[in-house]
């Protein structure tokens, strides 16, 4: 084995220069993949955890330059699911075997803390054996605390990029990298299992930015890291920016698995959109989570974060089946447990 991959695997760290070398040299790829898979098997065997994703609102007060549901996009019909709708999704998901529900949406002020807490409490009451994950953006410490007390245990908030200057090129001036990071530390402090992550090959991203992302993740120590390629959306200012490529995402998945041996790493929908076998390749390079869509069919095409998003025409049962098949085809198997992070100490 080459010294550098060996070093990354045994020390879970490298210098900036060494990381850049792996990121820019293709001859390490095969070894990186093999070692990432070996480490994933040490901790998680061949298990793939599933999360049922419920995209409950595409209203958003933010205007992120890359995102299809940004406030300024007028070409989008907006929707909100009622508490009843959401509980229906959970019912269907539960019957399909899901034991984690991810409530994801834009930053939609209609859903006050009270409404969110009610939704969480209802799900918690009806499905006490399930984990509830929120992915609803930047909120105050007190809001996060209220959701936690209502029964949400996990929170996904990608940092998108850890570099302030880069962050400001992807987001309007109202949003800040500092606040994003502060939110992530608040979530950890409260006791959530936290998911962070970045877009790979987003416009203006440099190699140094990626190193900064890795350093930030080392500082935060999240339980989950979600990464996927940037994909352009026709109704955003970044419509003419090139899509990310497969290689850098796979390289980063491999590096993340070796740096964070026990972290949960999803093979993301964006990766599956970029390449027909993107998620399978992700799983083979250290990823161990897939998040099939549980949203009602009638709203799926409206939750278009980027063009050509997959799974927008498929029933929940189809996505569930499809995911199982895909995992099986490469020698892994989906497991329907809650799939908590291995290093997470419950308080």
**Hey, what long-range contacts does 12-21 have (CB within 8 A, 24 or more apart)?**
12/258, 12/259, 12/260, 12/261, 13/218, 13/259, 16/211, 19/211, 19/214, 19/255, 20/207, 20/211
323 counts as binding ligand FES under rule CB under 6 A? yes
User: Minimum distance between the CB of residue 28 and ligand 5AD, rounded to whole angstroms?
Assistant: 25
- Which of the stretches 37-45, 56-64, 312-320, 337-345 binds ligand FES when contact is defined by CB under 6 A? 312-320
Residue 311 contact among ligand FES, ligand 5AD, none, beta carbon within 5 to 8 Å by kind: ligand FES
- Which of the stretches 93-101, 134-142, 154-162, 318-326 binds ligand FES when contact is defined by CB under 6 A? 318-326
Question: By C-beta, is 228 or 339 nearer to ligand 5AD?
Answer: 228
**Hey, what long-range contacts does 183-191 have (CB within 8 A, 24 or more apart)?**
183/138, 183/139, 183/144, 183/157, 184/157, 184/159, 184/220, 184/222, 185/220, 186/141, 186/144, 187/144, 187/155, 187/157, 188/220, 188/221, 188/222, 190/141, 190/144, 190/145, 190/148, 191/148, 191/347
319 counts as binding ligand FES under rule CB under 6 A? yes
Q: 228 has which bridge partners? A: 199
53 counts as binding ligand FES under rule CB under 6 A? no
Q: Are 90 and 101 in contact (CB under 8 A)?
A: yes
Phi (first) and psi of residue 176, to 5 degrees: -140, 150
52 counts as binding ligand FES under rule CB under 6 A? no
CA distance 223 to 197: 11
228 counts as binding ligand 5AD under rule CB under 6 A? yes
Choose which of 318, 330, 336, 338 interacts with ligand FES (CB under 6 A): 318
User: Minimum distance between the CB of residue 315 and ligand FES, rounded to whole angstroms?
Assistant: 9
Question: By C-beta, is 231 or 299 nearer to ligand 5AD?
Answer: 231
Contacts of 182 (CB under 8 A, 6+ apart): none
Q: Are 309 and 269 in contact (CB under 8 A)?
A: yes
Question: By C-beta, is 46 or 318 nearer to ligand FES?
Answer: 318
32 counts as binding ligand 5AD under rule CB under 6 A? no
Q: Are 286 and 259 in contact (CB under 8 A)?
A: no
Q: Among all chains, which residue has been given the structure tokens 């309007």?
A: 172
299 counts as binding ligand FES under rule CB under 6 A? no
Site for ligand 5AD in 250-279 (CB under 6 A): 270
Contact string (CB under 6 A) for ligand 5AD, positions 52-81, x = contact = --------------xx--------------
Contact string (CB under 6 A) for ligand FES, positions 263-292, x = contact = -----------------------------x
How many Cβ atoms sit within 10 Å of the Cβ of residue 156? Answer: 25
44 counts as binding ligand 5AD under rule CB under 6 A? no
Question: By C-beta, is 1 or 297 nearer to ligand FES?
Answer: 297
Chain Cα centroid distance, residue 57 = 17
Interface ranges with ligand FES (CB under 6 A):
292-293, 311, 314, 318-319, 322-323
Q: Which residues bind ligand 5AD (CB under 6 A)?
A: 66-67, 158, 160, 199, 228, 230-231, 233, 270, 305-306
């Amino acid at each position: 084995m080459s010294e550098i991959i060996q070093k990354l695997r045994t020390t879970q760290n490298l210098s900036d220069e060494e990381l850049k070398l792996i990121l820019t040299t293709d001859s390490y790829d095969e070894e990186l993949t093999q070692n990432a898979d070996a480490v994933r098997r040490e901790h998680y065997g061949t298990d793939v955890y599933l999360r049922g994703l419920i995209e409950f609102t595409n209203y958003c007060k933010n205007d992120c330059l890359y995102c299809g549901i940004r406030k300024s996009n007028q070409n989008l019909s907006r929707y909100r699911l009622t508490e009843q709708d959401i509980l229906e999704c959970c019912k269907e998901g539960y019957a399909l075997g899901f034991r984690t529900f991810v409530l994801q949406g834009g930053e939609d002020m209609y859903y006050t803390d009270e409404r969110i807490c009610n939704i969480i409490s209802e799900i918690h009451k009806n499905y006490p054996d399930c984990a509830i994950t929120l992915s609803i953006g930047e909120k105050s410490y007190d809001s996060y605390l209220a959701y936690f007390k209502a029964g949400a245990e996990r929170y996904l908030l990608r940092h998108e990029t850890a570099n302030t200057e880069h962050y400001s090129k992807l987001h309007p001036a109202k949003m800040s990298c500092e606040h994003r990071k502060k939110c992530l530390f608040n979530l950890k402090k409260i006791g959530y299992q936290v998911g962070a992550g970045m877009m790979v090959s987003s416009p203006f991203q440099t190699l140094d930015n990626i190193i900064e992302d890795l350093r930030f993740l080392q500082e935060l120590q999240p339980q989950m890291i979600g990464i996927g390629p940037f994909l352009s959306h026709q109704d955003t200012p970044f419509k003419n920016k090139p899509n990310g490529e497969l290689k850098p995402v796979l390289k980063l998945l491999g590096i993340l698995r070796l740096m964070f041996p026990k972290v949960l790493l999803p093979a993301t929908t964006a990766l599956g959109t970029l390449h027909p076998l993107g998620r399978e390749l992700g799983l083979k390079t250290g990823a161990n989570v897939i998040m099939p869509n549980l949203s009602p069919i009638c709203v799926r095409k409206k939750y278009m974060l980027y063009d050509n998003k997959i799974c927008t025409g498929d029933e929940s049962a189809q996505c569930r089946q499809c995911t199982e098949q895909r995992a099986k085809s490469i020698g892994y198997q989906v497991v329907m447990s809650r799939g908590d992070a291995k290093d997470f100490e419950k308080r």
